Amino acid sequence: MTQTVNFSEQLSLRARALLHSLGAEVPEPGPLLARTPISGGVLLPLAVDAPAEVDAAIGRAATAFESWRAVPAPVRAGLVRRLAQLLVAHQDELAELVTLEAGKIGAEALGEVQEMIDVCEFAIGLSRQLYGATMPSERPGHRLMETWHPLGVVGVISAFNFPVAVWAWNTAIALVCGDTVVWKPSETTPLTALACHTLLRRAAVDMGADPAVHQLIQGDATVGSALVDDGRVALVSATGSVRMGATVAPRVAARFGRCLLELGGNNAAIVAPSADLDLAVRGIVFAAAGTAGQRCTSLRRLIAHRSIADQLVERLAAAYGQLSVGNPLDDGVLVGPLINERAFAAMQKALAGSVAEGGDIICGGERVETLGPDAYYVRPALVRMPAQTELVREETFAPILYVLTYDELDEAIALNNGVTQGLSSSIFTLDQREAEQFLAGSDCGIANVNIGTSGAEIGGAFGGEKNTGGGRESGSDSWKAYMRRATNTVNYSTELPLAQGIHFG
């Protein structure tokens, strides 16, 4: 036990050193405990923002918006460009802080920071492409067009599993669009939020911009509630559970605000008889076991053709047996810890329920005792199920992969669509007809061919349908969520004709 305490103290000292190297002041102590899932110990205690402080932060963002909106978009991009430069300079330190707080292995943590850099580059280019449309007018001497304008204060509520990337998706684009941002991060990952906030404030100072364009508020759900209910917040972009989204959406709608929701995923991959099984096994294992199954795009359901199901399960079980589970700071580790005890308990409950419903646990599910009683490491589980039961239709945020079988592709697509979530999906096939049928039939916001369900690029809009919330972030035309559209008619004639041929007086 003494060894565990000492190790936790080492991690705490390392977190302080990383904050210092990133230019962030060690926060005042308070009731918010930043823990590390690596050991279960406390990294730092932080103060939470009282209601008056949250109100003041939103007020500062609202005031800053009035001047920020008037800055030309390509000039606004200078702030995002400087942020990207700072992220490049501090990628290693920020990634290590992500590992300490979220438990991601080094490669995934570095990849998350790279994703921030990538979306900054996307936003910089976007600053010269906030295009409106010009339409032909039915009235002579008139021009009909659309223009896009800054929306206002954007409230960002992020989750622990991508503690920095999701913030960057929203913030880089919102800033270029002329909005200001108030960020409420997960109370599980407050230190990474503090580091990002510090880097953005530094970028603002370097570029002569108003640092008030970004505000950080820390605390539990009550802090997020203030953001949700405040009429000064034009858009609430919330990432989290379906239950959270069901609470947020009607409250924002009640005040006629906008919502951008990224909620749960219960993602499936179909493996057809023609699939390249070597490719499929690699894609499936990464999608199901990466980040210890704690991605919204993690693979949770495998729908295999009956003719190849036994062979596929055998190969997956062998691959699972080779996965190294342990301290994500160590080289060679592929699966880090679950975020906390609650996640572990949910996984064990789901596994017990799968057996009660006739399932067969092929491998995994057991806890790995490595770094003390307060750290929760598990072996990813592979479970064959006789049918898509109610349990399988629920999302368990842990590394459980349920295996189902099918005979006809229509049946497989129906299984893929037979859940309330609609985030990500994929098929492994070398048959073009099957691939096209799947792409047309999947009801998810993301549908892939011959890759897994996770690992989205920033160039494509990210998001899902049904209970996933319908939001789109990051690439493509997702910028439109952060702006308001105006239809403009310009009369450059000396007449005043009315539309639809109406004659008045």
Token pair recorded at residue 344: 């572990």
| Catalytic member of 115, 262, 395, 473 | 262
Is 262 assigned a catalytic role? yes
Six-digit token pair at 346?
């949910």
Q: Are 426 and 453 in contact (CB under 8 A)?
A: yes
**For residues 404 and 406, what is the distance between their CA atoms, to the nearest angstrom?**
7
Tell me 290's DSSP state: G
What is the 3-state composition of the chain as percent helix, strand, coil, each rounded to the nearest 5?
A: 45, 20, 35
Q: 70, 54, 403: which is closest to 226 by C-alpha?
A: 54
Q: How far apart are alpha carbons 116 and 164 in whole angstroms?
A: 7
Got the DSSP string for 196-231? HHHHHHHHHHHHT--GGGEEE---SHHHHHHHHH-T
- Minimal CA–CA distance to 140: which of 441, 489, 420, 424? 489
Q: How many residues does the chain have?
A: 505
Q: Where are the beta strands (DSSP E) in 247-371?
A: 258-262, 267-271, 299-305, 360-363, 367-368
DSSP 8-state code for residue 395: -
**Token pair 């108030």 in the structure block, residue:** 182
Contacts of 87 (CB under 8 A, 6+ apart): 94, 113, 116, 117, 120, 199
Type of residue found at 402? Y
Q: Are strands 32-35 and 42-46 parallel, antiparallel or unpaired?
A: antiparallel
Catalytic site positions: 262
